[in-house]
Structure formats: C-alpha cells, structure tokens
Structure 1
Amino acid sequence: MKPVSRRTLDWIYSVLLLAIVLLSWGYVIYASTVAAGRQLKKKYPDKIFGNE
C-alpha cells in the first residue's frame, strides 16, 4: 500500500469534519422541531399540527 500524501489526508479530514458538523446540526434542528411540536401540542391540544 503506497503512502497517502499530506494534502489527501487533509482533504479527507476536512470532509469527515464537515460531515460530522452537518449531522450534528441536523440533529439539533430535528430535535428542536420535535420539541417545539410537542410544546405546541401541549398548549393547543385541539389544533392539528403538521409534524408527528
């Protein structure tokens, strides 16, 4: 197996870091949307909301 260049390693690490950041932000946005939906459902039980 031939050695990998420093530039290639930097690129791979950058892509991995970007993927981790995007996944974590996606989780934060999803969780806050679910929490907001639950709070709205608790406050206005007779209304129908799109999520859940």
Structure 2
Amino acid sequence: MKPVSRRTLDWIYSVLLLAVVLLSWGYVIYASTVAAQRQLRKEYPDKIFG
C-alpha cells in the first residue's frame, strides 16, 4: 500500500468533518420538529397535526 499524500488526507478529513456537521444539524432539526409536534399535541389534543 503506497503512502497517501497530505493533500488527499486533508480532503478526506474535510469531507468527514462536513458529513459529521451535516448529520448533526439534521439531527437537531429532526429533534426540534418532533419536540414541537409533541408540544402542539399536548396543547391542542383535539387538532390533527400531520
């Protein structure tokens, strides 16, 4: 296995960091929408929220 260049390693680390950031933001957005739906159901139990 030949050695990997520094530029390639930097690119791989950048892509991995971007993936982690995007996944974490996706989780934050998903969790906040779930919490908002629960809160709405608690405050307005007779309404239907899709």
- Compute the TM-score of the two structures, normalised by the length of structure 2: 0.99
Structure-2 separation of matches of 1:49 and 1:10: 45
Q: Which runs of no fewer than 5 residues in structure 2 stay unpaired?
A: none
* 1:16 to partner: Cα distance: 0.1
Q: Superposition RMSD on alpha carbons, in Å?
A: 0.3
Q: Which runs of no fewer than 5 residues in structure 1 stay unpaired?
A: none
Secondary structure of the residue aligned to 1:3 is coil
- After superposition, give the CA deviation of every residue in 1:8-52 in whole Å (9 maximum; x if it has no partner): 0000000000000000000000000000000000000000001xx
More relative contact order in 1 or in 2 (CA 8 Å, sep 6+)?
A: 1
Q: Percent of aligned positions with the same letter in both sequences?
A: 92
Q: How many residues of Structure 1 are paired with residues of Structure 2 in the alignment?
A: 50
- Compute the TM-score of the two structures, normalised by the length of structure 1: 0.95
